[in-house]
Amino acid sequence: MTQSTPKNPSAMPERPASPSACADPAPGSHVEAACEGPTADNPSLSIKKRLKRAQFFDQREQLAAAGMAVPVEADAGLPEPPQEGARERE
């Protein structure tokens, strides 16, 4: 028996981020920081999620430098920290 590939390539499961992305990241890049571990700007414990976010920010910075996109805040997409005193008001 042979395996057939699905007609719809988007139906295939997404490949996990390969460890090779951490093999030779650009110095000072978001990917380099993501490979070192969670940071305040990229707090996920999952390397796959950290790399995805880091690659987005590296690409956005390149596009912004070329004048093709607007810069994005480092905390974009992260949930707001809980407000202190919120429990006191309840």
Express each pLDDT in 36-83 by its tens digit: 888 888 888 888 889 998 898 899 889 988 889 888 787 777 777 777
pLDDT of residue 42: 84
Phi, psi of 34, rounded to the nearest 5 degrees: -65, -35
Q: Has residue 14 got a pLDDT over 50? A: no
Q: Could you tell me which residues come within 8 angstroms of residue 30 by beta carbon, excluding any fewer than 6 positions away?
A: 42, 53, 54, 55, 57, 58, 61
| Nearest C-alpha neighbor of 35 from the set 47, 43, 17, 52 | 47
pLDDT of residue 89: 52
